Chain A
Amino acid sequence: MVNAALEVLDPGILSTVQDFGRRGYERLGVPHSGACDRWGIAVANVLLGNIPSAAALEMTLIGPTLRARGPCVVGLGGADLGAVVLRTGDRVAPGTTHNLRDGDVLQFPGDSGGMRAYLSLRGGLDVPLSLGSRSTYLPAHLGGIKGRQIETGDVIRGISTAHEEMGARGWPERPSLVSDREPELRVVEGPDASLLPAVLDTLLRARWVIGPSSDRTGVRLVAGDGQAMPVHPPLVSRPVVWGAIQVPPSGEPIILQADHQTVGGYPVPAVVITADLPILAQLRPGGSVGFTLVRQVDALAALRDRAETFRRATERLRRDGLWQDLWLNTAG
């Protein structure tokens, strides 16, 4: 028995191993990291019978070129990066599985409108745990494959030794929550909303362009048609959350993402609701975004709704699929 393995022929722009991130180390200054789009990674995983939070490959804009070493089943979630099997010309859509044969080359050429896609192997990806997680945090060289993004020559292995082919499986819901029309993020008032009503008002009224320097740390917004954001001096640094919209003196908001620093000193007029963080993860530089203010009860209802939708889809997948081989998994 050998574990499923993929050899990296070309790394693409930025691909890292991620799971649901590390918890409890923020007080040592360690960001939680993990997949930016938890919906997308969960889809890639449950397709293969993994737990939703198993380690997978997060691929950005233009993904890698990978060659199967031995037979290998992959599951894809998140955005569509145009995945194609070179030998057969088969397209592999997000929300589906594919059986690769020994030597098959899987390519993610990108340019299909997506930002982040996820690839999983049975059992999840086999990299060492680092502070309780397999997630890569590049600035501190933590987790993943030697704390870095994947490189040519790396071999990515699954934890499971199952090697049988799997019947085709399709995720019965959307593989990514990104909408192709103009995306909107729902926000609740942040700690400085009442202190800075004009900042909140400007944020809500404008449509914002996604800046080119956006990354896993934060999505940086650029003011659209000449709107001016009233600015406010920095505050004493305080702890911040994923989804917090910080407004630095430049007036160009930064929405904190998975790799955000544990503390921040800029005013926060609003915070993206947890249910919409998978949409934040899929915003592409050059695209645009708007904000809708909701109440705390709406935020909670939206999160319950997402959880319920995911649960129902997972049940249907289980009913429809051929699951017998999957129970061999020892995903942790």
Chain B
Amino acid sequence: MDRARIEPFGDSALLITFGNQIDAAVSRRVRDATHALEQLRTSHPDIGAPVAAYAAVLLPFNPLAVGQDEAVGLTIDALEGAVVADPVRETPIIEMPTRYSGVDGPDLREVADAHGITVPQAIECHTNALYVVAFIGFMPGFPYMIGGPPELDHPRRATPRTRVPAGSVAIAGLQGTVYPFATPGGWNLIGRTDHHMWDTRRNPPALLAPGSRVRFTPAEG
């Protein structure tokens, strides 16, 4: 397996890169590494919480207290000790009831047409897919999920919408998401769910976490 690349990102953080594409195996390495780097904080208060994305992890540190070389050394040690996640320990599948097409999913017909399938077929493809959350980013609680159906591999919209309603179920390439807030956005909207991705009365406030598995189901009625 390739070694991770460790380099400074500014003067107060390290960027640890495991690959340069969206890939389930790389994403799993990122999750394991993030978990290992999380543990550093308990013994080193000047190391910050790691931030993960698809193929890289950021490790912030206080440069007035921790030298960059020291931070690199701690990172290497942590990565060597990283435990590979046990596949049987996978989380339960979270079901996401979704109202497809129409006003709730205005882009579904276009996506289906572009791939030569009917709207019901497109819905079936989406509900059959098992998505895995790679990381949370863009805005509070916004999941970047991988594992979308190849039949719906459709690029982002050329012109983003200025307002996407909260709860919109969306796809971009093989990625999937649910918008936690009304926001501008460029993904294709195919449906809508009533599940709240973000609720500060909940602990943690984000419904999903890296590694969460999600299956979309057609909403009743």
Residues of chain A at the chain B interface (Cβ within 8 Å): 23-30, 130-131, 137, 139-140, 142, 188, 190-191, 235-244, 261-263, 268, 271-274, 296, 299-300, 303-304, 307
- A and B contact pairs by CB, cutoff 8 A, 28 listed: A23-B48, A23-B49, A24-B48, A26-B49, A26-B58, A27-B210, A28-B204, A29-B136, A29-B138, A29-B139, A188-B10, A190-B9, A191-B15, A191-B17, A236-B20, A236-B55, A237-B53, A238-B17, A238-B53, A239-B51, A239-B52, A243-B10, A244-B9, A261-B138, A263-B51, A263-B53, A296-B68, A303-B63
B:32-69 near A, CB below 8 Å: 34, 48-58, 60, 63-64, 68
Classify the interface of chain B: helix, strand, loop or mixed.
loop
A274 to B137, CA, bound (A): 23
Residue of A23, A262, A268, A300 with most partner-chain B CB within 10 A: A262
Shortest distance in angstroms between B112's beta carbon and chain A's nearest beta carbon?
A: 26
Residues of A near B9 (CB, < 8 A) are: 190-191, 239-241, 244, 268, 271
Find out whether the CB atom of A263 lies under 8 angstroms from the CB atom of B20: no
Judge if B141 is at the interface, Cβ distance under 8 Å: yes
* Shortest Cβ distance from B175 into A: residue: A237
Identify 7 new A-B residue pairs, CB closer than 8 A, beyond the known A29-B139, A236-B22, A263-B53.
A23-B48, A27-B51, A191-B9, A237-B137, A238-B55, A238-B58, A239-B58
Count chain B residues whose beta carbon lies closer than 8 angstroms to a beta carbon of A.
46
Residue of A140, A237, A271, A299 touching B198 (CB-CB under 8 A): A140
Contact in complex: A296, B12 (CB < 8 Å): no
Known: A142-B200, A238-B15, A238-B53. A191 touches B138 (CB 8 A): no
Given the interface contacts A30-B140, A131-B200, A238-B53, does A139 sit within 8 Å of B183 by beta carbon? yes
B21 at the interface (CB under 8 A from A): yes
